[in-house]
Structure 1
Amino acid sequence: MAEYDTIRTTTGAGARAGVRIDEGLRAHMNKVYGLMSIGLLMTGLVAWAVAGLAITGTPTGAQIGANSYLTSFGVALYTSPLRWVVMLLPLGMVFGFGAAINRLSYGGAQLFFYAFAAAMGLSISSIFIVFTGVSIAQTFLVTAIAFASLSLYGYTTKRDLSAMGAFLMMGLVGIIVAMIVNIFLQSPAVGFAVSILGVLIFAGLTAFDTQAIKTQYIQMAQSGDQEWLGKSAIMGALKLYLDFINLFMFLLQFMGNRN
């Protein structure tokens, strides 16, 4: 962060370089948020479309509500072993993306990100079965406001948030382990605690990741490697996308009205 301030307060050639970095940083962050927004839109559309294919008003043997039933596609997706593949697919793609990012072109990385966003939509499509549409919309709005505020703080604060990183990652590993254990325990108390911690951790990660994306750009901007900067924007969009989605999902546990 100190480097950013130093660049802006120099004169002559240093000042001109600072202006170029400022302009490039704004363009870079706009690209990050733009990619993230497209990813979120794709996730929402896929989740809504898949849920529409999985639910019918025609009586079948798989009733899930007063006037709702699962289609054969819904039965296969949500009640067969296929559901584990669908649940774990986005996680596998994230690890694969991290391993392959250096070998992918910018276009390939962008395509992979959109494919991941579609896979995430498939994975979370059941929210349209479990929760009412109104509560999903309300939770999304609250998440968007909270995310924008936290990301703005991460972008503008002069405080170095890097010390938060290790603590937040430890907390993230902890809640993943707790969620896996609770699949078998089915404890409401553990689920409630995990949701609270999840909201706090991803709120912190939103600010932390925003500052990290900004700092990384400032450190590497003068290299002039446009291919790297483009892929860096995609990786930044992926991080903020995951922060948003997880914040939304944990908030939905509190705010969502169940069907």
Structure 2
Amino acid sequence: MADWDDTKQRQGFGSVPRAGDPVARAETFDAGLRSHMLKIYNYMSSGVLLTGLVALLTARSGLAMTFASGPLMWLVALSPLAIVFAMSFGAKKFSQGTLQLMFWGFAVLMGLSLSTIFLVYTGASIAVTFFATAGAFAGLSLFGYTTKKNLQGFGTFLVMGVIGLLIAMVINIFLQSTVMTMAISFIGVLIFAGLTAYDTQRLKAEYQFVKGTEFAGKAIIMGALTLYLDFINMFLFLLRFMGSRD
């Protein structure tokens, strides 16, 4: 005869998970993680779209020429970098509202800075490169989110690659080598493609440490900034290959 003792009965279809049930906890965690990552992607994509809109409007207004040379060029180029450093080192000190304002301000300044690409490349090639980058970013980020492979070991290698890339770019300012420019662009695409997958996995793993804390909201903004930088850098390096010059 079947044993109908409730204490031994297995949980079947349609049953409600008991409090403290590992399955229930896992489902709650997964739902919270999906919400956390979705907020990061929403912030990141909104920032990218704001940058693109500002860049396009600035180029069409004729102001892009103003930012292409002179003192304003350095102001517009270096201001976003200053904000990134301020957000990175002051994330714990700044309030969530302040970080939000800094993020949107950063996106606007990046739009002003990137408006100059419309002076070099055709609008059609910029659009094609943007959508190609968006597709690649989506695939790489999905890989980073779903893969069971630990990408942690690639992190140090990729960061060192970024440092090496910056040094090579500074050197090439003086050399003006076309071959070196193309090599830098190719390596840059690979590095930021790898960082997209790595950073996605890192942000996913970070959730378990920030969930339920006062830093959770800040972590969303900082995560969006990280993925934004991966996207924009991959786009700019790819543009050197796919962009058609005016």
Q: Which amino acid aligns with 2:180?
A: V
Task: Give the aligned partner of residue 188 of structure 1.
Answer: 178
**Separation (CA, whole Å) in 1 of partners of 2:137 and 2:175:** 31
Q: Can you give the 5+ residue segments of structure 1 that lack an aligned partner in the other structure?
A: 1-10, 55-72
Given candidates 89, 102, 105, the residue that maps to 1:115 is 105
Shift of 1:90: 1.3
Task: Give the aligned partner of residue 234 of structure 1.
Answer: 221
Between 86-95 and 234-243, report the one with greater CA deviation.
86-95
Structure 1 residue 16 corresponds to structure 2 residue 24: yes
**Separation (CA, whole Å) in 2 of partners of 1:159 and 1:219:** 20
Structure 1 residue 165 corresponds to structure 2 residue 161: no
Structure 1 residue 247 corresponds to structure 2 residue 234: yes
Shift of 1:196: 0.5
Q: Which amino acid aligns with 1:13?
A: D
Q: How many residue pairs are counted as aligned between the two chains?
A: 228
Task: Give the aligned partner of residue 116 of structure 2.
Answer: 126
Alignment of 1:40-189 (within 5 A): 40-54=48-62, 73-189=63-179
Task: Give the aligned partner of residue 30 of structure 1.
Answer: 38
Structure 1 moving runs of 4+ over 4 Å: none
**Separation (CA, whole Å) in 1 of partners of 2:99 and 2:69:** 33
Partner SS, residue 215 of structure 2: helix
**Separation (CA, whole Å) in 2 of partners of 1:156 and 1:228:** 25
Change (3 A) 1:75 1:35: closer
C-alpha root-mean-square deviation of aligned residues, in Å?
Answer: 1.4
**Separation (CA, whole Å) in 1 of partners of 2:137 and 2:234:** 8
**Separation (CA, whole Å) in 1 of partners of 2:151 and 2:137:** 16
Change (3 A) 1:16 1:25: same
1:21-66 C-alpha deviation (Å, 9 max, x unpaired): 1000000011000000110011001111111222xxxxxxxxxxxx
Q: Can you give the 5+ residue segments of structure 2 that lack an aligned partner in the other structure?
A: 1-18
Query: 2:67, 2:113 within 8 Å by CA — same for their partners in 1?
Result: no
Partner SS, residue 125 of structure 1: helix
Partner SS, residue 26 of structure 1: helix
**Separation (CA, whole Å) in 2 of partners of 1:183 and 1:251:** 19
Partner SS, residue 124 of structure 1: helix
**Separation (CA, whole Å) in 2 of partners of 1:41 and 1:51:** 15
Query: 2:64, 2:115 within 8 Å by CA — same for their partners in 1?
Result: no
Task: Give the aligned partner of residue 5 of structure 1.
Answer: none
**Separation (CA, whole Å) in 2 of partners of 1:164 and 1:123:** 31
**Separation (CA, whole Å) in 1 of partners of 2:121 and 2:89:** 35
Partner SS, residue 115 of structure 2: coil
Partner SS, residue 149 of structure 2: coil
Query: 2:36, 2:220 within 8 Å by CA — same for their partners in 1?
Result: yes
Q: Which amino acid aligns with 1:255?
A: M
**Separation (CA, whole Å) in 1 of partners of 2:230 and 2:27:** 30
1:132-181 C-alpha deviation (Å, 9 max, x unpaired): 11101110111011000000000000000000000000000011111122
TM-score (norm 2): 0.89
Partner SS, residue 126 of structure 1: helix
Query: 2:64, 2:116 within 8 Å by CA — same for their partners in 1?
Result: no
